[in-house]
Structure 1
Amino acid sequence: MMWGLASLANPNEHVSMPIIVYVDADACPVKDEIAKVVERHQITAIMVSNRWMRLPLSPHIKPRIVDAGLDKADDWIAEQASPTDVVITADIPLAERCLKKGAQVIGHNGKPFDPDSIGMAMAMRDLNSQLRDMGEIAGNNPSFQKKDRSRFLNILENTIQRIKRQVP
């Protein structure tokens, strides 16, 4: 996995890439938690959405409003994601796209996605969609709880620390 960009002037010299947290922000319940962690680490979080929204006040929180339309925010995030980045999303297809680019991906509930678990997550997503369409089950996700918020903070903190140790 590449953790820096080779300089054109000197191919043996590495340029450190900043850590950026990309947030699929439209339905993200942990914006305040993200703000706390990026403040502590002095890194940038880009909150991506199709519309203006109230965000935590911080010089490290940047809004990014993309065109309205299906998957426009997802497409923008997937294009930007790199191995030194963290993507926060509950969208499983977006998580899969970002993992393929080497980014770390964390769900809003604090559960990380990884190359070993994403296949099963995609299969369960498709199965649940079919069951909803047939009327066999109702609803999409369990409610967001305090333990999810705590798990999210812990996982995001640990993920950023791990990336910082790996970046030259």
Structure 2
Amino acid sequence: MAAVKIIVDGDACPVKNEIITIARMYAVPVCMVASFDHRLPQIEDVEMVQVDRSSQSADMFIANKVKAGDLVITQDFGLACLAIAKHALTLSFRGEAYTNDNIDHLLERRAESAKRRRQGLRTKGPRALTDEDRKKFQQNLTKLLLEKQEKHEV
């Protein structure tokens, strides 16, 4: 099996530094993908990919790049679903794993919220990222990479 790669939906990702720090500890390559509207600075040892401004460009680039065993980090349920279908691991910016067991429910909830907004109703956005969320993300990313290392996939 090829070595794992971390592919990040970099548009508005609040845990970029945490990803890079942990990935370096395990010598795992990182690819950050963002639209030109979310300019990414060049970072040593991190592949930075800028895609056009259309609404799904970053997601489509990632969906086409991801391979089985890779780790995709995103808040987008649709992208997570595509990554799961390719047998990739997926994590949210809060460290929550997207899996076959929970993705259908998350997609249904997203569709229901979109329907409510089309009806003129207000829906809540995501809550602010807390220090506890960052810690959970770091712990879960570290745990995933440790498990892959033990299986000699890193």
Q: Is the 8 A contact 2:70 2:88 kept in 1?
A: yes
Q: Distance in 2 between matches of 1:67 and 1:56?
A: 18
Give how far 1:89 is off.
0.2
Aligned partner (choices 72, 75, 84) of residue 99 of structure 1: 84
- 2:148 pairs with 1:163: yes
Aligned partner (choices 51, 56, 66) of residue 71 of structure 1: 56
Q: Is the 8 A contact 2:7 2:33 kept in 1?
A: yes
Aligned partner (choices 70, 91, 97) of residue 85 of structure 1: 70
- 2:134 pairs with 1:149: yes
Q: Distance in 2 between matches of 1:106 and 1:38?
A: 14
Q: Distance in 2 between matches of 1:55 and 1:117?
A: 34
Which residue of the partner structure matches residue 62 of structure 1? 47
Which residue of the partner structure matches residue 114 of structure 2? 129
Task: Kindly report structure 1 stretches of 4+ aligned residues shifted beyond 4 Å.
Answer: none
Aligned residues with identical type, % of pairs: 24
Q: Distance in 2 between matches of 1:79 and 1:57?
A: 23
- Supply the AA of the counterpart residue of 1:91: D
Tell which structure's C-alpha radius of gyration is larger.
1
Aligned partner (choices 20, 28, 36) of residue 43 of structure 1: 28
Give how far 1:76 is off.
1.0
Q: Is the 8 A contact 2:39 2:50 kept in 1?
A: no
Task: Report how many aligned residue pairs link the two structures.
Answer: 152
Q: Is the 8 A contact 2:71 2:91 kept in 1?
A: yes
Q: What do the CA deviations read for 1:49-86 (whole angstroms, capped 9, x no partner)? A: 11263448432x22011222121111111111122210
Which residue of the partner structure matches residue 31 of structure 1? 16
- Supply the AA of the counterpart residue of 1:78: A
CA-based RMSD of the aligned residues comes to 1.7
Q: Is the 8 A contact 1:35 1:58 kept in 2?
A: no
Q: Is the 8 A contact 2:18 2:138 kept in 1?
A: yes
TM-score (norm 2): 0.90
Larger deviation: 139-148 or 106-115?
139-148
Give how far 1:131 is off.
1.8
Unaligned runs of 5+ in 2: none
Q: Distance in 1 between matches of 2:111 and 2:51?
A: 27
Q: Is the 8 A contact 2:42 2:48 kept in 1?
A: no
Q: Distance in 2 between matches of 1:56 and 1:33?
A: 16
Q: Distance in 2 between matches of 1:34 and 1:100?
A: 23
